[in-house]
């Protein structure tokens, strides 16, 4: 099957701000500095895709029915554009980054999550994982992002799709997502196993566990 160009899609525009705009200072969490650049932080190789025909996103674990979403399936879902601040545990923060994607809550409408599920383990190309609570994901600013500043993500920033959880340190914003595993209870992902915090709230400086 040939897929239509997904990026031609007309987007519903919506601005979400998760931090008060009264001054830049109070938008910067403790121990962070601001950058205008967009650093790349990747453990391991960067995946490259010639086509999205073979790409899919799998939902498994504590769900009523396992599902596999194609790129076209996802592009049929409602989208949102939001401008948010991002904070990396390596101490850089970047203000006013604009992303377009599928709001987590829209995506979730397609999934029959079993009542015992409390967390997800996000699975990425090449084995990167990260864990997040369903209560954390359940927010206006969580999305499956595929455009950055109106353009497709570059390969190094997660093309074709990444999770965006701006209120946590950026390692939770998994690039090159391929699956969500719903779990009863929490289980550490890649960096969490190496000592990063299970929650990763930048405002509480939850850097290490
Ligand atoms: N799949 C995958 N996702 C990932 C990473 C990674 O190595 N692999 N690095 C994480 C870390 S530590 C950070 S800080 C951000 C960096 O995103 P960026 O490279 O777009 O700035 O991606 C996160 N998501
Ligand atoms: Mo990071």
Q: What is the pLDDT of residues 148-184, one digit of tens each?
A: 999 999 999 999 999 999 999 999 999 999 999 999 9
Q: Is 184 in the pocket of ligand 1 (CB under 6 A)?
A: no
Q: Is 88 in the pocket of ligand 1 (CB under 6 A)?
A: yes
Find all residues with CB under 8 Å of 30, minimum gap 6, and list them. Answer: 203, 205
Q: Is 170 in the pocket of ligand 1 (CB under 6 A)?
A: yes
pLDDT of residue 5: 40
Could you tell me how many residues make up the chain? 209
pLDDT of residue 11: 32
Q: Which among 134, 125, 209 is positioned nearest to 175, based on CA atoms? A: 125
pLDDT digit string (tens) for 5-29? Answer: 433 333 322 333 344 445 677 899 9
Verdict on whether the full-model pTM lies above 0.85: yes
When pLDDT is averaged across residues 54-82 and rounded to a whole number, the result is 98
The domains found in the chain, sorted by start residue, are 54-204 (3.90.420.10)
Neighbouring residues of the ion ligand 2, judged by CB less than 5 Å: 41, 88-89, 171
- Both tokens of 107, joined, read 């995506």
């Amino acid at each position: 099957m040939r897929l239509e160009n997904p990026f031609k899609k007309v987007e519903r525009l919506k601005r979400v701000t998760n931090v008060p705009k009264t001054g830049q200072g109070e938008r910067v969490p403790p121990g962070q500095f601001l950058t205008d650049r967009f650093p790349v932080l990747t453990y391991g190789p960067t995946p490259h895709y010639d086509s999205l025909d073979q790409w899919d996103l799998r939902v498994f674990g504590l769900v009523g029915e396992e599902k596999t979403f194609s790129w076209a399936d996802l592009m049929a879902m409602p989208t949102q554009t939001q401008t948010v601040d991002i904070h990396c545990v390596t101490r850089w923060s970047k203000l006013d980054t604009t992303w377009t994607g599928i709001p987590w809550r829209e995506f979730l409408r397609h999934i029959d999550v079993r009542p015992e599920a409390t967390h997800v383990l996000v699975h990425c190309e090449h084995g990167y994982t990260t864990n997040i609570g369903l209560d954390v994901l359940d927010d206006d600013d969580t999305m499956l992002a595929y455009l950055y500043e109106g353009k497709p993500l570059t390969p190094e920033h997660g093309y074709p799709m990444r999770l965006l959880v701006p209120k946590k340190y950026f390692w939770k914003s998994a690039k090159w997502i391929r699956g969500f595993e719903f779990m009863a209870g929490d289980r550490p992902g890649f960096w969490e196993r190496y000592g990063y915090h299970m929650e990763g709230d930048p405002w509480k400086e939850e850097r290490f566990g």
